[in-house]
Amino acid sequence: MNVNGEIEKRQTLPAEWRWVKLGEVCEFLDSFRIPINETERQKRIVNKPISSLYPYYGANGQVGWIDDYLFDEPLILLAEDGGAFGSTKDKIAYKISGKTWVNNHAHVLRPRNIIDFDYCLYSISIRPDIGNIVTGNTRPKLNQEIASRILIPLAPLTEQKRIAAILNEQMEAIDKARAAAEAQLAAAKALQFSYVRDTLSKGLIKTIKLSDCLDEVTGGIGNSWKQYAVLGTTRNGLSLAKEPPGKHPERYKFVGEGTIFYNPMRILLGSISFVDRKDDEGITSPDYVVFKTKPGFLHHRWFYHWLRSPFGDRLIRSLARGAVRERMLFKRLSAGLIDIPSWEEQLTAAEKIKHIGPFAERIESQIDEINALPEALLRRAFSGEL
């Protein structure tokens, strides 16, 4: 930001274009929002048919329904808090229309007649630089004062409409490509699950206690921690950690081939990872639960995919106590019972799953590339390159 609190002008604009503040081209209708808590909203919609309700919107889209409306026109919603500020792929603004209710987590913008509606939306929808000006640490917030000073490049109105038409067409193509890739990925993951499921429908099945076939990793890596990358876990599986090791890196746990680990605070959300043969070894947080399966008894790849399947989800939820944020440490997980097929059946399924992995990874890479396209496309559009 510059001394006036505005986002810096980082490029030279084409002739006849100019920089304007968002508050100059949009009217903020935030004062028309009416706060309502979730309990009250639920009371207002209980036993009412969906046909009598109106969409209820928040920072990132529709979050429910309500029995009344505040707005009835095309509008742009810009995240106030809870948005993906700083992201190069996730939108922080979207459009709504018709009878709607907007909560206090989104600014309500009505574009003035000097700016095309879609052009305005695109100019702010993906803006990584806005991540530098939001306030607050635990829940970043883009307050109205700062939001109104966001600078956007304003082209002549005819040029705005031309650019918006091109962007509408290209964004639609990107959405279709993303949907197709995500469908392929879902099919690949369903195939991996089917291999696990099939092993449980034939042959000899035994019921065992997980404590009999899992070995927990409790010790730290020691002074060799610098040799390894820090690995984390998300709902999509293995990932590089966003943060470097903390004050005591020697306490970080080693995760090599065949190791399964999870965030004990987020296992109910599916944050479970596995280091396979193709993956680099690493270290992970000492707060994570890390374990290995016993060879010849429980195959690591088979069990990892079982754990991430509906079978594993049911087991985890049956062992969970209290709220989602409660920790599930190894002792609780290992108390669970599991049906397992023979070692030979597990091994056969694990080999089939291994061949699906590279295909799924290629699709995930394609999705990452597709998700990067909108930001690059918008950067070109608002520098006069379309």
Tens of pLDDT, residue by residue over 142-158, are 999 999 999 999 999 99
Could you confirm whether domain 18-154 is CATH 3.90.220.20?
yes
Any idea how long the chain is? Answer: 386
Name the percent of the chain lying above pLDDT 90.
73
CB atoms within 10 A of CB 246: 12
pLDDT of residue 385: 84
Of residues 239 and 45, more confidently modeled: 45
Distance CA(140)–CA(301), nearest Å, equals: 39
Quickly state the pLDDT bin for 323 (edges 50, 70, 90): very low
pLDDT at residue 5 in the model: 42
**Angle between helical axes of 310-319 and 157-199 (0-180°, round to 10):** 80
Residues 327 and 63: their CA atoms lie apart, in Å, by: 27
Q: Which CATH class is domain 206-340?
A: alpha beta
pLDDT, tens digit (0-9, with 9 covering 90-100), for 57-103? 999 999 999 999 999 999 999 999 988 898 888 899 999 999 999 99
| The pair of three-digit structure tokens given for residue 69, joined into one six-digit string | 């409306």
Instruction: Sketch the domain layout of the chain as residue ranges.
Output: 18-154, 161-191+344-386, 206-340
The burial of 82, by beta-carbon neighbours within 10 Å (0-12 exposed, 13-18 middle, 19 or more buried), is given as middle
Task: Give the CA-trace dihedral at 157, 163, 164, 169, to 10 degrees.
Answer: 160
User: For residue 70, which of 21, 19, 36 has the smallest C-alpha distance?
Assistant: 36
Has residue 304 got a pLDDT over 50?
Answer: yes
Query: If we measure between CA atoms, which residue out of 72, 161, 149, 132 comes closest to residue 108?
Result: 72
The pLDDT, as a whole number, for residue 10 is 55
In Å, how far are 67, 99, 175, 276, 323 from 372, measured between CA atoms? 38, 33, 12, 27, 35
Q: What stretch of H or E contains 359?
A: helix 343-381
Residue for token digits 């590089």? Answer: 240
Name the strand (E) or helix (H) holding 134: none
Please state the rounded mean pLDDT for residues 41-52. 94
Residue 232 pLDDT exceeds 50: yes
**Tokens standing for 334?**
């290992």
pLDDT (0 to 100) of residue 84: 86
Measured between alpha carbons, how far is 275 from 215 in angstroms, rounded to an integer? Answer: 15
Q: How confident is the model at residue 54 (pLDDT cuts 50, 70, 90)?
A: very high
Place of tokens 């329904």: 65
Mean pLDDT value of segment 221-244? 88
Provide the pLDDT for residue 278: 84
Please check whether the two domains, 18-154 and 206-340, share a CATH topology: yes
- The whole-number pLDDT of residue 4 equals 41
Q: What's the confidence (pLDDT) of residue 321?
A: 66
- Residue 357 has a pLDDT of 84
Stretch among 65-74, 244-253, 263-272, 368-377 having the lowest mean pLDDT? 263-272
Q: What is the mean pLDDT of residues 353-364?
A: 90
Q: What is the pLDDT of residue 1?
A: 45
More confident residue, 28 or 368: 28
Show the tokens assigned to 230: 């820090």
